[in-house]
Amino acid sequence: MACSHEYYKLMHEYLDENMPLTEAKKFEAHMQECPACEQHLKELKKTVAIVQSASHFEAPEGLTREVMNQLPKQNQSQKWQN
């Protein structure tokens, strides 16, 4: 990236939505002037969108039963102690 290290740090703060509004405005103004920073930010945003598009996997069928079968055996007196 052609721009300074400072903007690189700010870019992540910006993406974390951690930036005070006035600072964010200043940052956005810089993005309009600096093609290198703008490109970098665009790529980061795209990366986040791609990662977020990853499917959610569901646990395999029978996982609950497997876990329950492996729990330590209880004897009668241990059950339902109050």
Residues numbered 20 to 79 that lie near other proteins (CB under 8 A) are 40, 43-44, 46-48, 50-60, 63-64, 66-68, 70-72, 74, 78-79
> What span, in angstroms and rounded, lies between the C-alpha atoms of 71 and 82?
20
Length of the chain: 82
- Phi, psi at residue 44, to the nearest 5°? -65, -40
Q: How far is CA 74 from CA 19, 59, 79, in A?
A: 54, 26, 7
Q: How far is the CB of 27 from other proteins (least distance, A)?
A: 15
The single residue among 2, 12, 25, 29 that binds other proteins, judged by CB under 8 A, is 12
Binding site for other proteins (CB under 8 A): 12, 15-16, 40, 43-44, 46-48, 50-60, 63-64, 66-68, 70-72, 74, 78-82
